[in-house]
Amino acid sequence: MFRNNAILPGALFVCLNLSAADKAPQTKPAAPREENLSSDRFAAAHAPLFAPKSKPSVASLTDRVAQSLPKGNASSLPMAPRNFVDQHIFGQMQRDKIPSAPLSNDYEFLRRITLDLTGRIPSTAAVREFVNDSDAAKRDKLIDKLLESDAFVEKWAYFFMDVFRASGKMGRGQNLFHYWMKENLRVDRPYNEVAQDIIAASAKSNHVVAASSVIAREHVQGKPQPDDGQDLAMVHQLDTHDELNVLYARTFLGINTSCISCHDGKGHLEKVNVWLSSKKRSEFYQTSAFLGNSRYLMYWEQGKPQSGEFLIDDGNPGYNTKGASMIRVPRFGGPNTPAFFMTGEKPRPGVEPRVELGRMLTSHPQFARATANMFWWRLMGTGIVEPYDEFDLARQDPANVPAGWELQPTHPELLDALAGDFRKNNHSLKHLMKTICRSNTYQLSARFDGAWKDSYSRYFARKFVRMLGAEELHDAITVATGKPGNFKFGDTQVNMAMQLSGPSGGGDLKYFMQTFGQSNRNNPPKILSGSALQPLLLMQSPVVNDRVLAAKDNRVQRLLDTYKEDPRLVEEMFLGTLSRLPSRQESEIAQAALAAGRVEAAQNLQWALINLTEFFFNY
């Protein structure tokens, strides 16, 4: 195992313990009724919703991480509003006399924006070129360049694969859906059109129509064996309608309707979500009824079901509000005519109900607000509304906050402005990301002069840090060490984890990726805070240690060959790993170690740089 050998002072990791809430099992009542859980049983089953959150805030995490970051000179760029994002953020700060972090310097900004938009760290050449560029518009130009790169397409396609939990349940449709999402991102296809295609998709096989693979993935397994090759019961039709209903609300509207899929909100959700507490299970049924004609048939060939392959059409007779369920409490009946739970709107005569659901959902203002908030969450470290997929629509208006509750968004006017700008610009995801990233709010430093107060958090008075995701960390190690990954993607060999459609590899690599939070795609994606095991694994895993050796095809060996006695070796290693130059103290310590044994010291230096907090986090 490699040792730090005191090469770098202050190597520190922030280790946090995450606790997972246990889910209480549901108990089936003797006879179905409108409310299937008593208040006592409901409270016991939903206790995790009411329990205080033990997960530390992103602001406190940032304050801890910032203490281990190297001192850096603040940018000389003026602190002034650059767009409407800054006008809202800085306006509130000035009104309430909240101090702000300085703007990030060029080294910080380059590493941050490259990771955020492409999931990779910049090359040494990219760092030198950017820092030495005197163009006042270089940050905007870099954002534009990254948004048009293949790496941007790969990073955000992987993100959407996590969002839609694209797994083996799609069969070969998983790779097709991945390709489709990449092409949507490449041409910046309007996001409302993408959502509409997913909701209304039909196909003889989801292996040939990409958008239908999301529907195939959400299927609920019914009977284990068919009566014949066309048996509808192999997929539980009604439960699949409901699963899709929950998915669309959560993914496209940022609203978690899971609770009202089982019971009315009244008497149950008053302590969780005011708006949902007024919603009824019958309203959930009526939204599922838009999908009631949808038919999900497992695809058969020569008497055998084909893995992950489904026919999806509109040959079912409609939604049965008294139908049995395999995963929810019994349905109790009620109207089965389609009506959108957000507005009560019904489909127009003669128009396919699923097409109408897509139109209603994406034209509702909440679609744009939820999308804007989700990407703000990803780029800023925390949402304007938190959690990003649990909006309480009764707490969005500052002038009408329910008694005993707080306003949910930190900046409601900004969220509305982002959503309006998103709609005005044809639901362009690239425009949305560009708007956020070009703001001085995004470009603030994670470092903060003076004492940080928790009350500053809601103002976005500094840039919040985030841990690199598993795929980002792997690919950052790959770039830093010059040792490519070894993944098989169809018939193609690829080097980066984010070029894949999903988790790949076994052994040490699989363990490494899972430890660093690689999504199993059973649940919606969350930003990971950390665990005590992660820094230990970084120090010991072959995923790191095999790459820092001075061996053939490794960057350490190439640098040793290029800079035989040249002190610039240290500078190159810092630029290629941390995207910054070494401090005077770091350089002196490293040069002294190299003088005592160049090969071993170079290996140890590369290992130590990867194990620094600033490598592990995007700040």
Residues 589, 8 contacting (CB under 8 angstroms):
yes
Buried b / exposed e along 240-249 (16+ C-beta atoms within 10 A): bbbbbbbbbb
- The whole-number average pLDDT for the span 299-320 is 88
Domain segments of the chain as ranges: 1-16+467-496+506-619, 164-365
Mean pLDDT of 580-600: 95
Helix (H, G, I), strand (E, B) or coil at 139: helix
Instruction: Give me the mean pLDDT over the 331-348 stretch.
Output: 96
Whether the pLDDT of residue 3 is over 60: the answer is no
What pLDDT is stored for residue 76 in this prediction? 58
Under 8 Å between Cβ of 146 and 130: no
Q: How far apart are CA 151 and CA 487, in angstroms?
A: 16
Please state whether the peptide bond connecting residue 535 to the residue before it is cis, i.e. omega within 30 degrees of 0: no
Spatial distance between the Cα atoms of 529 and 381, rounded to a whole number of angstroms: 11
d(CA 100, CA 169): 47
Which pLDDT band, with edges at 50, 70 and 90, does 526 fall under?
Answer: low
The pTM of the full predicted model, rounded to 2 decimals, is: 0.90
Give pLDDT, residue 25. 34
The amino acid that residue 154 corresponds to is E
Average pLDDT over residues 88-97: 95
> What is the structure's pLDDT at 31?
41
- The pLDDT score that the predictor gives to residue 62 is 92
pLDDT score for 28: 40
At residue 302, the pLDDT reads 75
| Mean pLDDT over the full length of the chain | 89
Phi, psi dihedral angles at 212 (to 5 degrees): -70, -15
Per-residue pLDDT reduced to its tens digit, 14-42: 221 222 233 333 334 334 344 444 555 54
Q: Are strands 304-313 and 295-301 parallel, antiparallel or unpaired?
A: antiparallel
Paired residues of 493 in beta bridges: 488
Residue 521 to residue 525: CA distance in whole angstroms:
8
